[in-house]
Amino acid sequence: MNNKIKVERAINNLTQEQLANLVSVTRQTINAIELKKFVPSTVLALKICRVFNKSVDEVFSLESNE
């Protein structure tokens, strides 16, 4: 799964730590999602999108082989 979390964080001037606090996870979780090492739950994906005021498909997308 691809994501634009790093880009959205930059647009919104948020660090990984700040985003993590806003969605009640650790900074390491945000880092793992950005590096595609962890796929977030639906609830976490929705919380992240709410912070950025974006829809899920604006932040997350499936890779062509998924």
Residue 7's CB: how many other CB atoms inside 10 A? 12
Domain count, the chain: 1
Residue 62 belongs to a domain: no
Taking the CB of residue 65, how many other CB atoms lie within 10 A of it? 4
pLDDT band with cut points at 50, 70 and 90 for residue 63: confident
pTM for this predicted structure: 0.93
21: containing domain: 2-53
Q: Is the pLDDT of residue 19 over 80?
A: yes
**What confidence tens digit (pLDDT) does each residue in 22-38 have?**
999 999 999 999 999 99
Q: What share of the chain is helix, strand, coil (3-state, %, to 5)?
A: 60, 5, 35
CA 15 to chain centre: 12
Rounded Cα gap, residues 12 and 47, in angstroms: 15
pLDDT tens string 39-60: 999 999 999 999 999 999 999 9
CATH number for the domain spanning 43: value is 1.10.260.40
